Chain A
């Protein structure tokens, strides 16, 4: 069965420090991979996506993620965190099969707190 695991429910980092949020997936083939961010009281906003090709993808707000097939991972990174990055982050996977339904499977989310 397809699944997405975000091992860290809550992470606290200091402003200016680097950040890595983990995401592991279980799937029979390479899926489409996404990171979304949800600020308090808002909907989910797409940060970045991986479909194929270069395994290091750049997104908005200075975020990047690296797809590692051997580890079934798609970790999100940012070299220097800003206080405005405090939010909840969701990893998601979609199907690459020909019967692609457009559905996404979301992880449980990681809440990022930024200390001044």
Chain B
């Protein structure tokens, strides 16, 4: 399996622009997670899905952030409008979700480094 695939790897945009980050989870995985990593706040869980349904979005910082999972093989995280403080590395992870222990094993993508100027 190719693992979790994220695109783009790097994104540079100007303040106020819309940014869309993409994620393809590992085939057969039921859970998908979006994280944000910064030096100041470390690794933060933004939102996660189970079988394409958002379960917990309490980590989404504000209404400018939205995430969708239209099918089992694709998810997007959108920021509109973007702000300089959104600059971070955004990770997508997926997990099998077949039984309690394996449900917790998350496999991470390589991340998208976002710079908002």
A binds B: yes
Residues of A within 8 A of B (CB): 32, 34, 36, 41-46, 49, 51, 90, 94-96, 98, 100-104, 106, 108-109
Residues of B within 8 A of A (CB): 4, 31, 33, 42-43, 45, 48, 50, 55-56, 91, 93, 95, 97, 100-101, 103-111
**Complex: A11 Cα to B8 Cα, angstroms:** 32
Interface residues of A: mostly helix, strand, loop or mixed?
loop
Determine the residue in chain A with the shortest Cβ distance to B104. A94
B42 and A34 contacting across the interface, CB-CB below 8 Å: no
Which residues of chain B have C-beta atoms less than 8 A from A100's C-beta?
Answer: 100, 103-104
Determine the residue in chain B with the shortest Cβ distance to A95. B104
A111 CB, nearest partner CB in chain B, Å: 11
A32 and B101 contacting across the interface, CB-CB below 8 Å: yes
Which residues of chain A have C-beta atoms less than 8 A from B91's C-beta?
Answer: 43-44
